[in-house]
Amino acid sequence: MQPKIRIMQFAHLVIFLVGILVVSALHIKTANFWDFLRLPKLISDLNPLFGFGWPASLHVYQSILTFAIIVALINGSGLIFYSSKIWRFLSDLSSFVGFLFIWPVSLFLLFTLASAENLDLQNIQTITVYFGFTFLIAVLDLITWFMDEQGFFKRLSRK
């Protein structure tokens, strides 16, 4: 197996495990030390900017989190079973869709950091951490998508 595949497997595994560990740690340990990782608190603080209620904001957050974890799992599985055409196709498709979906989330966090006037230090830390995380996932999805020589669009154009 190619070294770039091994590196991407490791990167996707790390992203998936970090996501699961952070979510688990935030639900197990409720001390203030972890507050900068609590995105729902940031969403409730920024609720006036969203224009819709807190429960809807929380559902959007949970949907994005679930989607990002599923994309990381599919990409990692696709790279582990890289010799299978079906898994390679699923990995290509999830990488492309993941990039298209996660990149705007990253831009939203950056825009919020730049435009919100009265953010406290904890919200700035939260935005910075999650911007870095979503930016890393978006770049990783883009690299995964470009890595395959027989990409998704090449296969569609042949049919």
Reported as a single tens digit per residue, the pLDDT across 89-143 is 888 888 888 888 888 888 887 887 777 677 777 778 888 888 888 888 888 888 8
Q: Is the pTM of this model over 0.75?
A: no
52 in a domain, yes or no?
yes
Dmax over Cα atoms in the chain, in whole Å? 55
pLDDT number for residue 102: 86
58 in a domain, yes or no?
yes
How many structural domains is the chain composed of? 1
pLDDT number for residue 99: 87
Higher local confidence (pLDDT), 38 or 71: 71
pLDDT number for residue 150: 53
Distance (Å, whole) CA 138 – CA 140: 5
Task: Provide the domain limits for residue 105.
Answer: 3-28+38-158
Checking if the pLDDT of 87 tops 70, the result is yes
Closest to 39 measured CA to CA, from 27, 51, 52, 28: 27
Could you tell me if residue 38 is left (phi over 0), alpha (psi between -120 and 50 degrees) or otherwise beta?
A: beta
